[in-house]
């Protein structure tokens, strides 16, 4: 696993890496298709690509939102219950 290889041990750093990867994938996969769709004003990639575009769009957006919520919960537990937060 990447995190054990480079020595990242804290949860926040792992969440930030997850958020970065998810946003990078979103930028590389969704933006080019969305720009093409915006410029042409019509979908010409076919039914399968339409389904794949929607699934990827919602999946990567969901991953980003989930990661931000996980970071928020992690920070809340760290601040409000420092005794129970693992070092």
Please indicate, yes or no, if residue 86 is contained in any of the structural domains. Answer: no
- 31: tokens are 């933006």
Half-sphere exposure of 35 (CA within 13 A, CB side): 7
The residue range of the domain holding 43 is 2-80
Distance separating alpha carbons of residues 42 and 33, to the nearest angstrom: 11
Q: Under 8 Å CB-to-CB from 2, ≥6 apart: which residues? A: 17
Average pLDDT of the residues in 4-10:
67
**Greater model confidence, 72 or 12:** 72
Q: ∠ CA(49), CA(19), CA(67), 5° rounding?
A: 100
**Domain-embedded: residue 31:** yes
pTM (global) more than 0.85: no
How many separate domains does the chain show?
Answer: 1
Tens of pLDDT, residues 40-87:
998 888 899 999 999 999 999 999 999 999 999 988 988 898 887 776
Model pLDDT, residue 70:
94
- Round to whole Å and give the CA distance between 41 and 18: 33
pLDDT band at 20 (very low <50, low <70, confident <90, very high): very high
Let me know if residue 87 belongs to a domain. Answer: no
């Amino acid at each position: 696993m990447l995190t054990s290889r480079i020595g990242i041990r804290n949860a926040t750093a792992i969440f930030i890496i997850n958020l970065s990867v998810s946003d990078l994938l979103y930028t590389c996969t969704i933006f080019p298709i969305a720009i093409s769709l915006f410029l042409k004003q019509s979908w010409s990639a076919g039914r399968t690509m339409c389904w794949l575009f929607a699934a990827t769009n919602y999946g990567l957006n969901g991953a980003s939102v989930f990661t931000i919520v996980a970071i928020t919960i992690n920070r809340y537990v760290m601040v409000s219950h420092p005794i129970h937060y693992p070092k």
